Amino acid sequence: MEPAQLAESLLAVVTSALERRGVDAAGVSLDDIALERPRNRDHGDWATSVALKLAKRVGVSPRELAADLQAGLAGVDGIASVEIAGPGFLNIRLDAAAAGSLVSTILEQGERYGTSETLASQSINLEFVSANPTGPLHIGHTRWAALGDSLARVLSAAGATVTSEFYINDAGAQLDVFGASVLAAALGEPAPENAYPGQYIADLGVRALAERPDLATLPRDAAVLVARELAYGWQLGEIQSSLAQFNVHFDVWFSERTLHAAGPGGEASPIDSAVERLRAQGHVFDEDGAVWVRTTDFGDDKDRVIRRANGVYTYFAADAAYYLSKKDRGFGLSIYLLGADHHGYVHRLKALAGAAGDNPDTDIEVLIGQLVSINGARLSKRAGNIIELDDLRAWLGTDALRYSLARYPADSPLTLDPELLQKRSNDNPVFYVQYAHARTHQVARNAAQSGVERVDFDAATLTDETESVLIGVLAEFPRVVAQSAELREPHRVARYLEQLAAAYHRWYDTCRVTPQGDDPIESVHRARLHLSDATGQVLRTGLDLIGVSAPERM
């Protein structure tokens, strides 16, 4: 019996109990049932506080209502016992067959087990990383790449339609400085003021000169432009390659330049249009020759200039045009994942959504990530002043890095221990979980050699306490995935996988899938093979949700 089925049965019993007492049950829903796993397994498989929630409406004590529900649940197939605890909690224990039937559900649904329609009505634009295309990705980008991609996966698993997006900051003065830096390197000139440092600039200069030997003879402005565009394309390609090798996928690479470009027929650029669209909403005003957005109407600490008196647009103008482009593309919710130095953007972007006519509380979310460091990590030899994603991946491996970054909340500062991450022991969380998955395949291989087949699954034979615990953890997976999506916390999946791996390892140490010696193959052996397969499926699905591989041998 799946948790959802138990909840439906309990709702039917509650509705019946209320109606017998002459109480209108129309407003009672599954939200009132609130099934939870007891921390102490001696208290059963599931617990609910529904009697405490509804007793006042019924006009009786919680324990009296709980007694009514206890009697009703006694007749539900698959429920072995129901006990009343404390002021009116109900502790429910399933019989082995009902609990074990979940194994068949998992094997039938495969990778679909754990998915839901919880967020099915939501169309979400999820923007993360969004690094300037003027240098390699660094350790800060690494954390958001891992978390952002994992969040996109859990949101999709919860039924949302998700578009993951990289905003390419390819407009503005930083690109001109980048181009001048590369040109100086190409021509062997001293680096200009505020030049980008690092060997990668010298390498881009060599490459640019090889591509365009005429750089030295072009007018200076033209030469800077050529060097800039060549280097920009190569650097963006490197960023895309680094992320792909880190198992991070983006559906859209959005160029900031498109916001500044006029339409093919001379139409106003998206930034020009953004000002007028915000003005139409009644939140734009003119003062001292500049154009302002009254963002204080929506909780910002001050109003924002969108166009200066000299006619130059501010960064806020690009932010406005970009947000409106997401709205135009049909996204009901825009989620921004920003770095630790972007706290000031939270109120600014929410106020922008309000000024655009949206609800700042429901149509936009801004998540701020904290810093991450890795003991012993060295600065990039190429960039000189950063720790590169590619260097970290080569050092620690994609799986260890992604898992470790995914298992902590984004808003907590994080220091990783590389020595631990490279250990092949149970102290290393990613090894511990991956080894559990590999062990399920080893169990399957051993079963095949011993003649244990996947036939005649009898869930009632799974009576060992470790089997009850393992099945209980498997039952939690859909709730964990849905909660991870709703709370924007993919680390919950990683922590769940560690709990599942622990339950599986304990079960493996206690229960045999293959008979000993010349003992005959029995139904329990076949049932345990099914249980091992189901655990492997959930481990595999969970690891995929955080972008980590599930090896079959280790």
Give me the mean pLDDT over the 177-200 stretch. Answer: 95
Nearest 5°: phi and psi at 165? Answer: -135, 140
CATH code at position 433: 1.10.730.10
pLDDT for res 177: 96
Residues 81 and 157 occupy one common structural domain: no
Residues 182 and 195 occupy one common structural domain: yes
Residue 482's pLDDT band, with cuts at 50, 70 and 90, is very high
Residues 499 and 438 occupy one common structural domain: yes
The answer to whether residue 450 is domain-embedded is yes
Q: Which of 133, 130, 136, 131 is nearest to 199 (CA)?
A: 136
The answer to whether residue 416 is domain-embedded is no
- Domain span at residue 241 reads 173-245
Residues 266 and 142 occupy one common structural domain: yes
Classify 199 as helix, strand or coil. helix
Q: What's the rounded Cα separation, in Å, for the pair 384 and 251?
A: 31
For the entire predicted model, the pTM comes to 0.90
State which of 205, 226, 245 marks the end of a domain.
Answer: 245
CATH code at position 22: 3.30.1360.70
Q: What's the rounded Cα separation, in Å, for the pair 426 and 414?
A: 21
The pairing of strands 252-255 and 161-168 is: parallel
pLDDT for res 32: 85
Give me the mean pLDDT over the 393-422 stretch. Answer: 94
Nearest 5°: phi and psi at 84? Answer: -95, 130
State which of 53, 78, 94 marks the end of a domain.
Answer: 94
Pull the structure tokens for residue 179: 């181009």
Q: What percent of the chain has pLDDT over 70?
A: 100
Residues 368 and 284 occupy one common structural domain: yes
Give me the mean pLDDT over the 438-447 stretch. Answer: 98
Q: Which of 439, 464, 463, 465 is nearest to 539 (CA)?
A: 439
Residue 173 burial (10 A CB sphere; 0-12, 13-18, 19+): exposed
Residues 41 and 105 occupy one common structural domain: no
Q: What's the rounded Cα separation, in Å, for the pair 183 and 202?
A: 9
pLDDT for res 115: 97
Residue that the structure tokens 């924002």 belong to: 304
What is the 3-class SS of 102-162, one letter each residue?
A: HHHHHHHHHHHCCCCCCCCCCEEEEECCCCCCCCCCEHHHHHHHHHHHHHHHHHHHCCCEE
pLDDT for res 440: 98
Give me the mean pLDDT over the 299-308 stretch. Answer: 92
The answer to whether residue 383 is domain-embedded is no
Residues 154 and 197 occupy one common structural domain: no
Q: Which amino acid is at 251?
A: D
Residue 77 burial (10 A CB sphere; 0-12, 13-18, 19+): exposed
The answer to whether residue 491 is domain-embedded is yes
Predicted confidence (pLDDT) per residue in 116-146, tens digit: 999 999 999 999 999 999 999 999 899 999 9
Residue 381 has pLDDT above 80, yes or no: no
Outline where DSSP puts E strands in 388-442: 414-416
The answer to whether residue 409 is domain-embedded is no
Q: Domain total for the chain?
A: 4
Q: Give the contacts of 152 (CB within 8 A, at least 6 positions apart).
A: 126, 162, 164, 249
Residues 17 and 144 occupy one common structural domain: no
pLDDT for res 527: 97
Q: What's the rounded Cα separation, in Å, for the pair 437 and 539?
A: 6
pLDDT for res 3: 82
Q: Give the contacts of 71 (CB within 8 A, at least 6 positions apart).
A: none
pLDDT for res 266: 84
Predicted confidence (pLDDT) per residue in 137-188, tens digit: 999 899 999 999 999 999 999 999 999 999 999 998 999 999 999 999 999 9
Residues 132 and 144 occupy one common structural domain: yes
Distances (CA, A) of 487 to 149, 425, 498: 15, 31, 20
Residue 88 has pLDDT above 80, yes or no: yes
pLDDT for res 130: 95
Give me the mean pLDDT over the 526-546 stretch. Answer: 98
Q: Which of 95, 7, 79 is nearest to 50 (CA)?
A: 7
Residue 299 has pLDDT above 90, yes or no: no
Distances (CA, A) of 194 to 22, 174, 178, 190: 78, 10, 9, 12
Residue that the structure tokens 């003027």 belong to: 134
The answer to whether residue 151 is domain-embedded is yes
The answer to whether residue 16 is domain-embedded is yes
Residues 113 and 64 occupy one common structural domain: no
Residue 1 has pLDDT above 80, yes or no: no
- Which residues face 333 on adjacent strands? 124
Give me the mean pLDDT over the 12-35 stretch. Answer: 88
Give me the mean pLDDT over the 1-29 stretch. Answer: 88
Residue 460's pLDDT band, with cuts at 50, 70 and 90, is very high
pLDDT for res 250: 98
pLDDT for res 331: 97
Q: Which residues of 466-480 are buried (b: 16+ CB within 10 A; e: fewer)?
A: bbbbbbbbbbbbbbb
Q: What's the rounded Cα separation, in Å, for the pair 120 and 161?
A: 7
Outline where DSSP puts E strands in 371-487: 372-374, 414-416
pLDDT for res 444: 98
Residues 296 and 442 occupy one common structural domain: no
pLDDT for res 51: 93
Percent helix / strand / coil, the chain, rounded to 5: 55, 10, 35
The answer to whether residue 387 is domain-embedded is no
Q: What's the rounded Cα separation, in Å, for the pair 89 and 67?
A: 10
pLDDT for res 43: 81
Q: Give the contacts of 100 (CB within 8 A, at least 6 positions apart).
A: 459, 460, 461, 462, 467, 471, 527, 531
Q: Are 554 and 434 in contact, with CB atoms under 8 Å apart?
A: yes
Residue 232 has pLDDT above 80, yes or no: yes
Residue 316's pLDDT band, with cuts at 50, 70 and 90, is very high
Q: What percent of the chain has pLDDT over 90?
A: 82
Residues 481 and 463 occupy one common structural domain: yes
Mean pLDDT of the chain: 94
State which of 216, 245, 274 marks the end of a domain.
Answer: 245
